Amino acid sequence: MPRNKKETTESARRALALLARLHRDYPDAACSLVHATPLELLVATILSAQCTDERVNQVTPGLFRKYPRPEDYAASPPGALEQDIRTTGFFNNKAKSLRGLGKALVERHGGEVPRTMEELLALPGVARKTANVVLGTAFGVAAGITVDTHVFRLARRLGLSAAKTPEQVERDLMDVVPHSDWIFFGHALIQHGRRVCQARKPRCAECALSNICPSAQ
């Protein structure tokens, strides 16, 4: 259900207060996936689905050496790519996406990662979360707010959204977070979710946001 004007205004005030503390506590908040190029970030983000960034960062150094170009993913023989990414989970589906991704980048984009949301969403294996990560981190383009499992959880706990889907949570956040902070906000909430506001046992006693968080215990 869409929020009314009063709810949106209250959420916007809370978002500004939260942002001030996030900037103080996470001034250098950034993507934790290790990469050197937009292609590497795109591949790493696809691999991060249902997998920790730490595990992905263990897999990608060898993967990036073996597959430095989109055409390398597209031409990978059956079973080889699957084995290379096996420990990230769901490796059959991810390998299929990476092969399709490589083929699409070569055929549609001259081997380059596109810089628009529309073009990214048309690539195999790419949804809004992945597109937002790549646009924001690789290109500095704030087309939206990255909503992964941490941001989805924290947005609801912090009273910024009551929505039940990542897409609607993102829309709610975009309504109340200043556009200039969209990229930072996603990175900072992810770090806070990992360090403090954890899924099973949030550490409210140690949280710098607790006195403005409606869910604080």
* Residue ranges of domains in the chain: 5-30+144-212, 38-139
DSSP designation for 2: P
Q: Which residues are annotated as catalytic?
A: 129, 148
What element of type H or E holds 13?
helix 5-25
Task: Give the C-alpha separation, 135 to 146, whole Å.
Answer: 10
Please tell me the distance from the alpha carbon of residue 215 to that of residue 208, in angstroms, as a whole number: 13
Residue 156 tokens read as 């609801």
Other CB atoms within 10 A of residue 189 CB: 29
User: Residue 199 in contact with residue 160, Cβ under 8 Å?
Assistant: no
pLDDT in tens, the chain (217 residues): 566 777 788 889 999 999 999 999 999 999 999 999 999 999 999 999 999 999 999 999 999 999 999 999 999 999 999 999 999 999 999 999 999 999 999 999 999 999 999 999 999 999 999 999 999 999 999 999 999 999 999 999 999 999 999 999 999 999 999 999 999 999 999 999 999 999 999 999 999 999 999 999 6
**Rounded Cα distance, 197 and 202, in Å:** 4
CA 15/CA 165 separation, integer angstroms: 19
Q: What is the pLDDT of residue 108?
A: 98
The predicted pLDDT at position 6 comes to: 73
SS3 assignment, position 28: coil
Mind giving me the DSSP string for 162-174? Answer: --SSHHHHHHHHH
- Interatomic CA distance for residues 31 and 125, integer angstroms: 19
Nearest-angstrom CA–CA distance, 186 and 166 = 13
Q: Does domain 38-139 have CATH number 3.40.190.10?
A: no
Q: Given this model, what pLDDT does residue 7 score?
A: 73
CATH number of 5-30+144-212: 1.10.1670.10
> Of 183, 172, 206, nearest to 29 (Cα)?
183
The amino acid occupying position 99 is: R
Per-residue pLDDT, 71: 98
Q: What is the pLDDT of residue 217?
A: 65
Taking a C-beta distance cutoff of 8 angstroms, is the pair 151, 193 a contact? yes
Which own/partner contact pairs does 112-116 have at CB distance under 8 Å and 24+ positions apart? 112/38, 113/38, 113/39, 113/42, 113/138, 115/139, 115/141, 116/143
